[in-house]
Amino acid sequence: MVIHQPRVEIWNELDSVVLIALGGRLAYNGPAQGVAPYFTRVLDTSIFQGKGNPADLALDVVTHHGQILADYWANEVEPKTPAIPHSEPPTRVMAGFFKQLAMAHIRAVVELLRKAHVFLLDVFLGVIGGTLLTASALDSAYKGPYKGNYIVLSPRSDVQKIPMIMMLWGIAFAAALGPSGVRSLGSKRQSYWREAASGYSRVAYYIGASTAEVYRLLLSVLHFTAVVYLMYAPYTSFGMLFWILLLYGIAIDSQSVLLGNILDQSIAPLLATVVGVFTALFNGFPTIPGSFVFYAFALTELAASAEVNFVKDFFDASTLDTQWKYKLFQEGSDYINIFAWIIGLRVVGFIAMLLFNRHMQK
């Protein structure tokens, strides 16, 4: 056992002690009762005269005369000590890749369960944010002009409803999911450094720990979708809306994980929220040049296609193309954009985890 300044009762129970001087040098190794005679002989003085805790006295001597004692031990005592027979160290067997991945995943899930109050707070923030932002835009679901001769009977058009509501939901996700995404790996840096230095697979650790966030995302987005679906009453089915918002949540989480691996943990949650808000603004509403390359634009385009698909037989949706530049019913290109961003952010996040604080991983 390693102890610091033990009580006299503990010292008297010790058979042998090892005393270490500054720099990790050996100052004494032997019977506890032999410390006082040895120090007296080496230093040529009666240091242990008087009363007191022998442990405190021994540590005081090592603190003030440690280098003298260490030099004497190395030059006079150690050469005369019989050598311990050499034996090969046991072969170290590491667990396989998938077992390491599973263990990293399970440990991350256990930590998530231990901090259930933080998870519930994330869910609550998402529900409140979705409620407030949906209420601020609540009027009706998508309305476009009727087709053909029925155009004169058309209700008031509201073709901006879809991009506007998707922008507001993106802002809500930035506030609710950004900080938690940063914490998913950023708060585990010391654990990762220790595991990496011991030979743990970095890929297995990253995949196992980051995929544990899927449970939090599923429940958070499910609650969010349930609230906004009842308030917004879209034509889109609940399942499709949940799928689109889940992809949005995964994308926000992916960029937050990246930021958490780069930035200091004192500022990363705030910056993750700010970056998430800016990302939401690049969804095509308002129109910003170059928005079409961002995943927020592709998600809005996908949501618009799903919404219009239920009313395309009697509503004219061409204004979404001409006014807002959304290409409807091109889900394949939308999915390519979305998954390219998610995978790209995850890969860059992994690279950042490897490159930053590299000296701590050896």
Residue appearing with tokens 């032997």:
30
- Spell out the alpha helix ranges (H) of 5-80: 8-11, 35-43, 54-72
pLDDT at residue 344, rounded to an integer: 96
Nearest to 257 by CA among 347, 132, 164, 360: 347
Nearest-angstrom CA–CA distance, 84 and 121: 58
pTM listed for this prediction: 0.70
pLDDT at residue 139, rounded to an integer: 59
Nearest to 221 by CA among 245, 238, 255: 245
Q: φ and ψ at 258, to 5 degrees?
A: -60, -50
pLDDT at residue 131, rounded to an integer: 83
SS3 state of residue 40: helix
- Spell out the alpha helix ranges (H) of 73-201: 97-114, 116-137, 161-186, 189-197
Cis (ω within 30 of 0) for the bond into 31? no
Residuewise pLDDT in 10s, the chain (362 residues): 777 777 888 888 889 999 988 888 899 998 988 888 888 888 877 766 656 788 888 888 888 888 888 899 888 888 877 666 666 766 777 888 899 999 989 988 888 888 888 878 878 888 888 888 787 766 555 666 656 555 545 555 555 778 888 999 999 999 888 888 888 887 777 788 888 877 888 899 999 988 888 998 999 999 899 988 888 888 889 999 999 999 999 999 999 999 988 888 889 889 999 999 999 999 888 788 888 999 999 999 999 889 888 777 766 667 666 667 888 888 999 999 999 999 999 999 999 888 887 776 76
Nearest-angstrom CA–CA distance, 323 and 229: 26
Residue appearing with tokens 């949501």:
303
Helices 161-186 and 116-137: angle between axes, nearest 10 degrees: 160
pLDDT at residue 240, rounded to an integer: 95
